[in-house]
Chain A
Amino acid sequence: MDFAYPETHGDIQNLANQIFSDHCAPDRLKKLEAKGPYLDSELWGKVVESGLHAASLPESAGGMGLDFAASMMVVEALGQAVVNVPLVPSIISTALPLATLDVAEAKKAVEQAAAGDILTTAHIEPGNEDPLNPSTTVSNGQLNGVKHCVPYAAEAKWMLVSAMSGDALWVGLVDTHADGVSIAAQDATTGEPQYEVTFSNAKAHTLATGKAAVALMQKSIAMTTAAYCNMAVGVCTKMTRIACDYTSQRQQFGVAIATFQAVAHRLADCFIDTECLKIITLKATNDISEGDDNAASLSMAKIWCGDALHRISQATQHVHGGAGIDRDYHLWRYCLWAKFLELALGSSRTHLVALADRLQADYLAESAR
Chain B
Amino acid sequence: MHIAYTDEQQALKTRLETYLQSIVTEELLNEMKDPNLMEGGGPVFRAAMKKMGADGWLGLGWPKELGGAGIGPVEQHIFAETIMASGFPYPFLTIDTIGPMLAQHANGFIQETVVKEILKGNVFISVGYSEPNAGTDLASLQTRAVKDGDDWVINGQKIWTSLGQFADYIWLAARTNTDPAIKKHKGITMFLVPTSSKGYSCTPIHTLGVRTNATYYEDVRIPDKYRVSEVDAGWGLITGQLNRERLSIVNPGMMGGIFEQVCAWAAETKDRNGELLITQPWVKENLARVQADLEVLKLLCWKQAWAMQNGNPGMADSSAAKVYGSEFFVECYRRLLEVVGQAGTLKRDSKGAILRGKLEHRYRSGSVLTFGGGTNEIQREIIAGAGLWLPRARP
Contact = CB atoms under 8 A, between A and B. Distances in A.
Interface of A: 1-6, 69, 240, 244, 247-248, 255-256, 258-261, 264-265, 267-269, 271-272, 275-276, 279-280, 282-283, 286-287, 289-290, 292, 297, 299-300, 303-304, 352-353, 355-360, 363-364, 366-367
Size bin of chain B's contact surface: 35 or more
B148 interface: no
Given A297-B295, A360-B267, 10 more contacts: A2-B3, A244-B390, A256-B391, A267-B390, A271-B383, A282-B3, A283-B295, A289-B1, A352-B285, A355-B288
Interface in B38-86: 74
B309 to A, nearest CB: 9
B114 interface: no
A352 B288 contact: yes
Interface in B206-260: none
A268 B278 CA distance: 36
Interface string B1-40: 1111110010000000000000000000000000000000
Interface in B360-395: 377, 379-381, 383-384, 387-393
Residue among B278, B281, B289, B323 with max Cβ neighbours from chain A (10 Å): B278
Interface string B284-298: 110111011001100
Contacts of B302: 1, 3
B312 interface: no
A355 B296 CA distance: 14
Given A264-B393, A267-B388, A359 B295 contact: no
A6 B1 CA distance: 7
B384 A359 contact: no
A363 B287 CA distance: 11
B1 A4 contact: yes
Nearest to A297: B295
Contacts of A258: 384, 390-391
A244 B389 contact: yes
Given A268-B384, A269-B380, A356 B287 contact: yes
B266 A290 contact: no
B82 to A, nearest CB: 15
B292 A303 contact: yes
Contact of A356 (B285, B320, B393): B285
Contact of A1 (B74, B276, B393): B74
B300 interface: yes
B284 A357 contact: yes
A367 B388 contact: no
16 contacts: A1-B2, A244-B388, A248-B391, A255-B393, A260-B393, A268-B387, A272-B323, A275-B317, A279-B299, A279-B303, A280-B292, A353-B285, A355-B288, A356-B281, A356-B288, A367-B267
B357 to A, nearest CB: 22
Contact of A363 (B266, B300, B391): B266
Contact of B393 (A6, A259, A282, A355): A259
Nearest to A241: B388
Contact of A240 (B267, B291, B388): B388
Residue among A260, A272, A275 with max Cβ neighbours from chain B (10 Å): A272
B113 interface: no
A26 B310 CA distance: 39
B107 interface: no
B324 interface: yes
Contacts of B263: 359, 363
B316 interface: yes
B76 to A, nearest CB: 13
B306 A2 contact: yes
A1 B9 contact: yes
A359 B280 CA distance: 12
B324 A276 contact: yes
A2 B320 CA distance: 20
Nearest to A301: B292
Nearest to B327: A272
B264 interface: yes
Nearest to A266: B380
Contacts of B296: 276, 279-280, 300, 304
B268 interface: yes
Nearest to A365: B267
B279 interface: yes
A261 B291 CA distance: 32
A353 B289 CA distance: 9
A271 B316 contact: yes
The 3 closest A-B pairs by CB, nearest first: A259-B393, A356-B288, A268-B380
